[in-house]
Amino acid sequence: MLQCEPSAMNQTDEMGVGVSQSQFERDGFLVLEGHFSPHQIDRAVSAIRGLLDQRPNEVVVDSLKTGRTTFWAQADKREVRSFRFNDLFLMREEVRDLALEPELASILGSLLGEPPVLFGSRNLRKGPSETIHIDSLYTTPRTPHSLIAAWIALEDVHPEAGPLVYYPGSHRIPLYRFNDGTHHASPDEEADWFDYVDVQIRLRGLRERKFMARKGDVLIWHADLVHGGSPVRDLGRTRSSMVCHYFGESDCRERDMDLVAMNGGHWLRRPRKAVRVDPAAFGPAFPFPEESYLARHPDVREAVESGRCPSGESHYRDLGFGEGRGV
Ligand SMILES: O=C(O)CCC(=O)C(=O)O
Ligand SMILES: [Fe+2]
């Protein structure tokens, strides 16, 4: 069900996508209240739990405590709440069934003006206490604005559990230009971006809003909407959620990406996120992912095939790790 802002509603078309679209253009977000039934959510959650219990080698996590990216199979599983689980959509169709559920895919398609391509998903059991940002700072789409996100509540959100916060209308703040001339964040200028946005928010009188979601609710936001995870006040509370990011189809076609059609949209078949761990992490219990390393680094494959290098693993140990390559 589409929930419109009271001012955007009228008696004839309060549920119409046309109205929601104008609300999205005006405010940069859209709430779909009760979009998923408890059964739909539980099905995905139990598939995810099953996957994580198996600890397969391809699941990659980011630590919320240290920011380090590593393999879930090598992480401390008692700390399950302290990790962000990347791209489970690549491994489980139940995750794709939520992210590209037909009605959601159709709404995302209307807002983007073309079919959505699911390229990333992140699952969290806890609020990430993330500072405010816009997604296009880090994942800068080829065509400006051709990026959209959907945040799905996998349980009711408690006010002390670090609800997602966002600033309605902030997507209209002109994009900040970094010293290299792009809109892509450069790490040593992030503080400048923050100062710029802080001033813009105050000048425009924009106000923070919290997404007090119920299980099954969805918040869709624009590539340039300012948002983040508010601080978790009660560390014992979970805030189970899944956030999905989508590009517009044409940008992906231009880059010749491998798209799999689904429900009027697509998901991107791509390698899992790269990991840079000490070569000592690999051994009999966790073999080096030879094939994915060679696929990620065609120059290494070429060196192995021509006999200049014995294997991808030896390349990583002797050179690749030092060169900052990912596995
Ligand atoms: O879940 C959150 O609190 C924030 C997630 C987010 O900003 C993102 O994944 O883009
Ligand atoms: Fe974000």
Fold of 2-268: Jelly Rolls (2.60.120)
Verify whether ligand 1 is closer than 6 Å to residue 163 (CB atom). Answer: no
Starting from the CA of residue 228, give the closest ligand: 1
Is the pLDDT reported for residue 1 higher than 50?
no
Note the pLDDT tens digit of each residue in 231-254.
Answer: 999 999 999 999 999 999 999 999
- All CATH 2.60.120.620 domain ranges of the chain, comma separated, are 2-268
Verify whether ligand 1 is closer than 6 Å to residue 135 (CB atom). Answer: yes
Predicted TM-score of the model (pTM): 0.92
Is the pLDDT reported for residue 15 higher than 50?
no
Starting from the CA of residue 151, give the closest ligand: 1
What is the Å distance from ligand 1's center to 253 Cα?
A: 26
What is the mean predicted confidence (pLDDT) over 258-269? Answer: 98
The angle subtended at Cα 218 by Cα 95 and Cα 164, nearest 5°, is 105
What is the mean predicted confidence (pLDDT) over 135-155? Answer: 95
Q: Note the helical H segments in the chain.
A: 17-27, 38-54, 93-99, 102-112, 190-203, 249-254, 290-296, 298-305, 312-315
Q: Roughly what angle, to the nearest 10 degrees, separates helices 17-27 and 102-112?
A: 60
Q: What per-residue confidence (pLDDT) applies to 20?
A: 86
What is the average pLDDT score of the chain?
93
**How many percent of the chain have pLDDT more than 90?**
90
Are 83 and 61 contacting, i.e. CB atoms less than 8 angstroms apart?
yes
What is the Å distance from ligand 2's center to 1 Cα?
A: 23
